[in-house]
Chains A and B, each alone.
Chain A
Amino acid sequence: MSLAKSPWIIHVNCNSCNGCDIEVVACLTPLYDAERFGVLNIGTPKQADIMVVTGSVNYKNVNVLKNIYNQIPDPKVVLAVGACASTGGIFHDCYNVIGGVDQVIPVDAYVPGCCPKPEAILDGVVAALSILENKKKGNIKGKEVPLKGNEVPSNA
C-alpha cells in the first residue's frame, strides 16, 4: 500500500543530450511538483525505488549504469525516459552506442518522446508505481547484472 505512496527516484544520465534531463528536473519544479506524489529525487541509489535513466548506453558508461542498478535494493523498477533510453534514438547507429537501456538492464516502463513532456514523465512514474507494488507482492527480485560482458568490440 504505502510502497506506491513514497517513490524515491534516482536519476541516471547515461549519454543524454541533456534535453531529457532538463525535462526530468522540470518535473520537480513548483509547476509540476512531483513531490505531491511523494516523489523525491534522492541522490544515493541505496535509498531509491525508481531508477530514471535518460540517454542511450555506450561502452564508456555501461558499467556505471550496471553498478548503480545493482546497488538499488529490491523492489525496484527502471524507467527509461526518452527515445534514446528506449531504443537508442537518433544515436542508435553511432560507433560507440550499445543501444537502449534494455540492452543492458531490465526496463519496466518506457516514456517515448524526444524529449518527453514533463507530464509524460510523471505519467511514466505513476505507471511505474503499480509495477513496484506488483513486484513487492510477487516478491520479484531484480537480478544482479554482471559487470563483465559489454566490453568495447575489437572491430570498433
Chain B
Amino acid sequence: MNEILKILLVLIGAPILGCLIAGLDRKITSRLQHRVGPPLLQPYYDVSKLLQKDNIVVNKYQNVYVVIYVIFVILSLLMLVFEADMLMIIFVYTIASVALIVGGMSTGSPYARIGSSREIMAILSYEPILVLYAVAIYMLTGTFKLSALDKTSTPLLMYIPLIFIAMLVVMNIKFKKSPFDYSTSHHAHQELVKGMFTEYSGPGMAGIEIGHFYEYVFLLSLMFVFWKVNIIMGLILAVISFLFVIIMDNITARVYWQWMVKTSWTVLLVISIVNIMYLYIFNIKIM
C-alpha cells in the first residue's frame, strides 16, 4: 500500500514540482537580467500549448524515442525513491539520455545531428563522475544500495566533499545550462537552431518538456542524497545546487565542447579520484 502511494506521488508530484522548478528558473533568470519575466506557471502554459498544436514528424519513429526517454527518466526517478542500486540507476538514466540522442540523429537534420553528437560529448564528460559517485558509495558501505546510507547519522557530504563539487558541475552539464548549453538550449539562445530538438513539434516537444520536469527532480534528488539522513539539510543542498546552476547560467558564456571534455577529464575526474583514494587509503567505512 505504502509503495503504491509512493509511486503515485512520484508519477503525479514530480512533474508538478519539476514544472515549478522550471518556472522558478525562468523567473530568477529574468530577475537577474533585470526583467519582469514570465509568470511562474509559464512552463505549464508552454506544455499545454504544445499539446494543442499539430504534430509534424520527419519519420514515424521520432516520437517513439521521446516516449522511451520519458519512461526511463521516470524509471530512474522511481529507483532513486525506492533506494535501489546506484549503479543501476545511472545505467537506466543513461538509456534515457541516449534515447534523445538517437531520436535527434534519426531526424537527419544537420542541426539535430550536430546537437546530438555534442550531447554524446556531454555524456562522455559527465558519466565517469557519476560512476565514481556510485563507486564512492560502494566503498563506504560495501554495497551499491542507497538504503545502506541510512545506517549512520553522518551525511555523505562529509566523506566525499570533492565528488560533491564535481557533481555541481555535472548538474550544470545535465541541466544544459551555460557554459555547457551547446547541444540544445531552453531559452531560445538559438545556436544550431534548437540543437537536438530541431525537428520536434507539438506533442513530441511537449513530451520532451514533461521528461525534463521529471529529470529536474531526478537530478536534484541526486544532490539530495548527499545529505539524505536529514531531510531539511538534503533539501537545502538541492536548493543550493539549483541556485548554483542558475547563477552559473547567467554569469558565464558558452564554451567550446572541447573545453568541457578537457575540464571534466582533468579537474573533475582528478578531484573525484583523489576523494576515492582518500577513502581507500584511510579505509573509511560507514558501518
Contact residues of A with B, CB < 8 Å? Answer: 2-3, 5-6, 8, 30, 33, 35-38, 40-44, 46-47, 49, 71, 73-75, 136
Q: Verify B188–A40 contact, CB threshold 8 A.
A: yes
Specify the chain A residue showing the minimal Cβ separation from B54: A73
Q: Verify A35–B35 contact, CB threshold 8 A.
A: yes
Q: Could you say which of B35, B193, B198 contacts A30, with CB atoms under 8 Å apart?
A: B35
- Leading 8 A-B pairs by shortest Cβ distance: A73-B54, A46-B201, A43-B193, A5-B45, A43-B190, A33-B35, A6-B45, A2-B48
Q: Verify A3–B201 contact, CB threshold 8 A.
A: no
Question: A44 to B107, alpha carbons, bound, how many Å?
Answer: 14
Q: Verify B49–A2 contact, CB threshold 8 A.
A: yes
Question: A42 to B193, alpha carbons, bound, how many Å?
Answer: 8
Question: A36 to B46, alpha carbons, bound, how many Å?
Answer: 13
Q: Verify B49–A49 contact, CB threshold 8 A.
A: yes
Set of chain A residues within 8 Å of B52, measured between Cβ atoms: 2-3, 136
Most buried by A among B48, B56, B205: B56
Q: Could you say which of B37, B39, B48, B201 contacts A73, with CB atoms under 8 Å apart?
A: B201
Question: A3 to B46, alpha carbons, bound, how many Å?
Answer: 8
Q: Could you say which of A3, A35, A44, A136 contacts B194, with CB atoms under 8 Å apart?
A: A44
Q: Mark B175-192, 1 if CB is under 8 A from A, else 0.
A: 000000000000110101
Q: Could you say which of B35, B54, B187 contacts A40, with CB atoms under 8 Å apart?
A: B187
Chain B residues 41-64 with CB under 8 Å of chain A are: 42, 44-46, 48-50, 52-56
Q: Is B151 an interface residue (CB 8 A)?
A: no
Question: A12 to B154, alpha carbons, bound, how many Å?
Answer: 58
Question: A41 to B185, alpha carbons, bound, how many Å?
Answer: 12
Q: Verify A38–B46 contact, CB threshold 8 A.
A: yes
Specify the chain A residue showing the minimal Cβ separation from B26: A35
Question: A83 to B270, alpha carbons, bound, how many Å?
Answer: 60
Question: A40 to B46, alpha carbons, bound, how many Å?
Answer: 10
Chain A binding surface, main DSSP class: mixed
**Chain B nearest CB: distance from A71 CB in Å?**
7
Question: A136 to B53, alpha carbons, bound, how many Å?
Answer: 9
Q: Verify B35–A36 contact, CB threshold 8 A.
A: yes
Contact residues of B with A, CB < 8 Å? Answer: 26, 30, 33-39, 42, 44-46, 48-50, 52-56, 111, 187-188, 190, 192-194, 197-202, 205
Decide: A44 near B54, CB < 8 A? Known: A33-B30, A36-B37, A38-B45.
Answer: no
Cβ contacts A to B, 15 pairs, < 8 Å:
A2-B48, A2-B52, A6-B42, A6-B45, A30-B35, A33-B35, A35-B38, A38-B39, A43-B188, A43-B198, A44-B193, A46-B205, A47-B194, A73-B201, A136-B52
Set of chain B residues within 8 Å of A41, measured between Cβ atoms: 188, 190
Question: A42 to B39, alpha carbons, bound, how many Å?
Answer: 18
Specify the chain A residue showing the minimal Cβ separation from B29: A35
Most buried by B among A5, A8, A42: A5
Q: Verify B49–A73 contact, CB threshold 8 A.
A: no
Q: Verify B53–A75 contact, CB threshold 8 A.
A: yes
Set of chain B residues within 8 Å of A37, measured between Cβ atoms: 38
Question: A18 to B45, alpha carbons, bound, how many Å?
Answer: 32
**Chain B nearest CB: distance from A36 CB in Å?**
5
Set of chain B residues within 8 Å of A49, measured between Cβ atoms: 49, 53
**Chain A nearest CB: distance from B100 CB in Å?**
16
Most buried by B among A6, A46, A47, A74: A46
Set of chain B residues within 8 Å of A8, measured between Cβ atoms: 188
Question: A49 to B53, alpha carbons, bound, how many Å?
Answer: 9
Set of chain B residues within 8 Å of A46, measured between Cβ atoms: 56, 198-201, 205
Question: A132 to B198, alpha carbons, bound, how many Å?
Answer: 23
Decide: A35 near B37, CB < 8 A? Known: A47-B200, A73-B55, A73-B202.
Answer: yes
